[in-house]
Structure 1
Amino acid sequence: MVGERLRQLRERLGIGREELARLAGVSGPTVWRLEKGERGGSVEVVARLAKALAQVGNLELREVLAFLLTSSSVPSLDPIPTRSLPVRYLTVREAAKVLGVPIWEIREAVRKGVIRPRPRPGPRGATVISLEELERYAREHLEAPAGR
């Protein structure tokens, strides 16, 4: 039960498992096992995760703990202000949508090394691109003069 709520809150806040684990000072597999219900979290681990989530979402710690440990809702998350949260990485699909180009063009730029992707904090196996890298690519390759 705690794991499912932890996953829901983490996803609604837009934070990856590894990043949450790093902020809470626990291992990534610990967060994964807790979310999957393969492991029950100790009070200390749940408290650390709750504190990290509260900081990321700018929420009250007691509200986050109440949400994780009981069936109460977190009032400050309804609706969650997703645009106020800093988005630092985009998937290839999201990057293509933001730039208004086909997905294959972004994939090709990554393959050729024109765009330098990051191995994390995206989902396992996903290529993620930092916003700074995407802006650099757009300036250098998409806003080039037509004679180029």
Structure 2
Amino acid sequence: SEEPGSPLPTFSAAAKVRVAVTCLLFLSSSCCNGAVLCAVLRAKRRPPRVRVLMAHLAAADLLVTVVVMPLDAAWNVTVQWYGGEAACRALMFLKLAAMYASAFVTVVIALDRHDAIVCPLGARGAARRSRAMLGAAWGMSAVLALPQ
């Protein structure tokens, strides 16, 4: 609820700068993360574990790029939400799931690299563990974003 006499939000100069910066970040992130995904998918042989982990990170970051950045830019331009409650809930779910996935996949990579350093000869089962951790990361992202 707005106080009487308080000014309505406007598309200010600061909001214009935020939109411009968001658009630049969107373009660079789309190109870079898309290039990583293409490189991994073009591999003729089965990619090593690290490349699979990097592909998941690029996919999660690409999800942030295509969901969060345009949503934030549109919100800055329109200054208010016109999409209705269902669209708001769906987009907020996607936004949270994307941000959680990016963070959780980064943690999976850190745990995998820790395991590779601490147990360098314990490669048996490492790929299966990585896949399980990636599945858990994506699953937890969806579950934690569900309250939206």
TM-score by length of 2: 0.25
Q: Which has the higher contact order (CA 8 A, sep 6+)?
A: 2
**Structure with greater helix percent:** 2
